[in-house]
Amino acid sequence: MSHRPDHAGSSTGSLTGGVLAVLVSALAEGRTLTQGLADAKDCPVQRAGHEETLGALEQAERLAASTSAPAAAIAELGEGWIAEEALAIAVYCALVARDFRHGVVLAVNHDGDSDSTEAITGNLLGARYGVSAIAAEWLEPLELREVIAKIAEDLFAFREWQLGASSEDDDRNRRIRDKYPE
């Protein structure tokens, strides 16, 4: 996401990055995007200069609930060259998507920073639907596919890992720390 400092010294880029993390986490936990958005909108409010990020999210929600054509709605959200626009376009596309393919195709078919909006949309829909929703013809040519799949599995399962001094499985702790050193 683009980085743009605001007048208070924080950045829209870090705010939108935090919002995206909250959204992906909520979706990975099985919550809906709407539920995740309710939590995520609390994140920027805690920081100075949050108005652009919060406003963009709320606009994406309004447009997703409207009868606006997707191309017009995306154009109204911006071109995606700055962080809050890219996130808003991705949130809009994820909200109106019938499935993974539909959402990422919407996100990539505009005149702005479509590779960024598609990537963010893919993160949201991937967390929502999982890898099984991605077309085989998109997965087959993917470089390092097995490595990426294993990392994705680990990210999904990490909340269940019992690491640290209270863990009774020292061998598992060692394997995980060897795989992902600090």
- Please indicate if the annotation marks 11 as binding a ligand: no
Computed from CA positions of residues 120, 121, 126, 131, in that sequence, does the dihedral angle turn out positive or negative? Answer: negative
2's tokens = 């683009």
Q: Which residue has the tokens 């400092």?
A: 5
Q: Is 99 labelled as part of a ligand binding site? A: no
Q: Is 115 annotated as a binding residue?
A: yes
Tokens 């077309």, residue?
135
Query: Distance between CA atoms of 52 and 56, rounded to whole angstroms?
Result: 6
Annotated binding-site members = 113, 115-116
Annotated binding-site members for Mg(2+) = 113, 115-116
